[in-house]
Structure 1
């Protein structure tokens, strides 16, 4: 390890490592107030979301949905003689969107006055960061406060042969210029299922492998079974509850996954392998020891409910702080840190965190699931309605799925789950009612525009509730 730099530190009010959601919002906000702010970003201006994660993946998913509509053209009275997916064009469309987003981010840095430094950062002392620039030169920055927002990267575990197989992660999958002939997806979570469906719609034969007995195994059984059924009907195959023994071959050529099943060994063969089995915090090489920043047992940076690290004046936001791995959570982390730097006492506890899986149809949830309510022995009434009861869904002829809500003894909504077209938008309406502490009857009796998907809350809360056994 090299010795600490002898350079005279450049002084800033705020130094930020990483430029993801919470980090960049902090930079733009405090710089626009006249503070001197520096952001050190290793590669992706704006972080993962606009470059290699949320937004480009949704761009690809939407293209796949258009492909599916074209394939189902006769349902809409449209006859097509032939259809071909041009993956280089799909990729180029995504790249144009990303380029536009990066340009927008650069403009916001310029407008706010925050200094964006492209380089690799590491701590060399308390609240002191050394940035190594692309040309090899270095700068030393010290801040009254420092925010760490370096995020995570895809995990590739130590399964024999897995690393040697050079699997795709979501980053490489978004850059494919061809449709994989036979794609194997390791992981039945959000990333794995979204890519599995998109690639199946582009024309891949897809198999999803997960060591758990159910996809999305933390969600309610009725939810996971419904999503499983929808994806299976599209031709996606599943190997669940099957530990992986080893991997052979190289992704992009030929790859084999050897599974251990109760009835013996099984082998799944494919041309491409995508790993979507979890995330690893980006802490390596940060020099956290020099700053006095400690890690939690999980490997993420240890923070308190105010997002303070173990080092005075050093904060962490987003995934690196162990926050739920969603951009909207990182944005809320920014609000917590901002309020605390402004002299307040904001905390992360008690937040209502929404979840949305962008398969087609979508799955969205806010608040308690039935599984969680039962585990915590919370009494609830269950309201449930099929998407077929939502007239806008009937008009679109997209009636797969259902909605359900948990309501407490005081008539307040404890949780909502929706599987259906536009489920994320409907969830947001329910979330607002939950934040306001409104009884479920406020949504049941509200005059909502017809025909909209959110109007489905009428059908939901007009249904006959059940009281599940505890």
Structure 2
């Protein structure tokens, strides 16, 4: 039986990063993966979706070339080529992870892993053969998949999840997207940009409902302007897939209506991959579809750990990576600081982009803070005007008493690359006054952070 210091079950952005950090710290490490290195994120999630969205962005530029004084004749898209480019990007990234595994001398064990007592993992390969491996520490990083609703069973053809949405053989003429979290709105934007007639159905009152309400309203206005039909306070009660098309019965406050489409994309959240991996046999505690862990990702059974989507933290790639690094550094005995889940940035890569960190205005008020709030619209930004991307704004929320940066909410072009300023500032406990007096470069989109802060402190110049 092969013996390791650390075995990681799953090779997504939580698993492979954990394994690399473990190897860097001198642990003999192995990763068990049943499919492709890089997991959902690299192969069917974060990376290939961004490739699709980039194609949509370029196509939009071509369609609006006249706005920039340019002439482009007969701009069109090749849907197959767009999808193939996305798959090629994903394959390249997965090969990159293979390289990192070799570079860091990490053993990659192919197959489905199941936890066993005595700090062992049984791995069944594609031929059904099993082999056991042992380690001092076993870390579960098996991630999650598209969640299915009873009223919306996925058949992979007419009712699909994100995985099928990424590799459709034929572009649908009409699509219904159920759910308006990041996955739902990103695909809604992509297919709409490609020319598909898109309807988005959201159960809650606003699109992207976890965002600050000002951002949600601006985003919804933008989607409607782009030609996407938006149905909020609505739910899909049932689907009929018996005909050539799919008919969805949608319940709204006004009653029920039937919408017809070629495809329904279910984007109503995720389901953790914790079935059949041996948790029950070992007595590892779970609650609400998540593995119960402490601040260092230890389960209730010594020697077994869990990170990423299978644990209660936010189901984001960068969270999984951070958790895995902390987990193995703690195992090593290093002095580490527990992750601050209140300072995790969230990003949505539709158009316009959304990025946020910290409290929304509503949350800050409910927490009892007296607030200083500033907003700066990109319509007043020189760089945004020059770029032809004046949609959106930056909103900052500060504690009036001490100047603590409570929250930052951005909507507009490129904001997912700008939110890190707020994350770092909050980590370093910076104040609104310090942000205001930190000279930002001009002309840039990012100077809007300073301008919004100036607005909060009644010192704004450009409004």
TM-score interval w.r.t. the shorter chain?
over 0.9
- Matched residue, 1:35: 27
CA-CA distance at 1:349 after TM superposition: 4.5
Q: 2:75 aligns with which of 68, 83, 89?
A: 83
Q: How does 1:323-334 map to 2 (within 5 A)?
A: 323-334=313-324
Q: Within the alignment, does 1:391 sit opposite 2:362 as a pair?
A: no
Contact 2:158–2:262 (8 Å) recurs in 1? no
Q: Within the alignment, does 1:263 sit opposite 2:236 as a pair?
A: no
Scaled by the length of structure 1, the TM-score of the pair is 0.93
- Matched residue, 1:240: 232
Q: Tell me the number of residue pairs that the alignment of Structure 1 and Structure 2 aligns.
A: 456
Contact 1:205–1:236 (8 Å) recurs in 2? yes
Distance 1:86 1:336 in 2: 44
Contact 2:235–2:251 (8 Å) recurs in 1? yes
Distance 1:304 1:163 in 2: 38
- Matched residue, 1:448: 440
My pick for the range that moved more, 438-447 or 235-244, is: 438-447
Q: How does 1:335-414 map to 2 (within 5 A)?
A: 335-343=325-333, 344=335, 346-349=337-340, 351-408=342-399, 409-414=401-406
Specify the SS of the correspondent of 1:315: strand
Contact 1:306–1:345 (8 Å) recurs in 2? no
CA-CA distance at 1:25 after TM superposition: 1.6
Distance 1:51 1:462 in 2: 42
Specify the SS of the correspondent of 2:134: strand
- Matched residue, 1:196: 188
Q: How does 1:183-222 map to 2 (within 5 A)?
A: 183-222=175-214
**After superposition, what is the alpha-carbon deviation per residue over 1:171-194, rounded to whole angstroms, capped at 9, x for unaligned?**
111112332100110111111001
Q: Within the alignment, does 1:415 sit opposite 2:407 as a pair?
A: yes
Distance 1:30 1:265 in 2: 54
Distance 2:296 2:10 in 1: 19
Q: How does 1:16-31 map to 2 (within 5 A)?
A: 16-31=8-23
Contact 1:165–1:255 (8 Å) recurs in 2? no
- Matched residue, 2:161: 169
**Taking structure 1 as reference, are residues 98 and 161 closer, same or farther at Cα in structure 2, changes over 3 Å only?**
closer
**Taking structure 1 as reference, are residues 162 and 335 closer, same or farther at Cα in structure 2, changes over 3 Å only?**
closer
**Taking structure 1 as reference, are residues 446 and 366 closer, same or farther at Cα in structure 2, changes over 3 Å only?**
same
Specify the SS of the correspondent of 1:462: helix
**Taking structure 1 as reference, are residues 397 and 241 closer, same or farther at Cα in structure 2, changes over 3 Å only?**
same
**After superposition, what is the alpha-carbon deviation per residue over 1:279-335, rounded to whole angstroms, capped at 9, x for unaligned?**
001011101122331111x11111112211111011111111122011111111022
- Matched residue, 1:277: 268
Q: 1:425 aligns with which of 417, 420, 443?
A: 417
CA-CA distance at 1:106 after TM superposition: 0.7
My pick for the range that moved more, 308-317 or 385-394, is: 385-394
Q: Within the alignment, does 1:307 sit opposite 2:297 as a pair?
A: yes
- Matched residue, 2:46: 54
My pick for the range that moved more, 260-269 or 127-136, is: 260-269
CA-CA distance at 1:165 after TM superposition: 7.0
Specify the SS of the correspondent of 1:414: strand
Q: How does 1:6-17 map to 2 (within 5 A)?
A: 9-17=1-9
**Taking structure 1 as reference, are residues 165 and 135 closer, same or farther at Cα in structure 2, changes over 3 Å only?**
closer
CA-CA distance at 1:93 after TM superposition: 1.1
Specify the SS of the correspondent of 2:291: coil
**Taking structure 1 as reference, are residues 358 and 250 closer, same or farther at Cα in structure 2, changes over 3 Å only?**
farther
CA-CA distance at 1:34 after TM superposition: 4.1
Distance 1:76 1:246 in 2: 45
Distance 2:150 2:321 in 1: 33
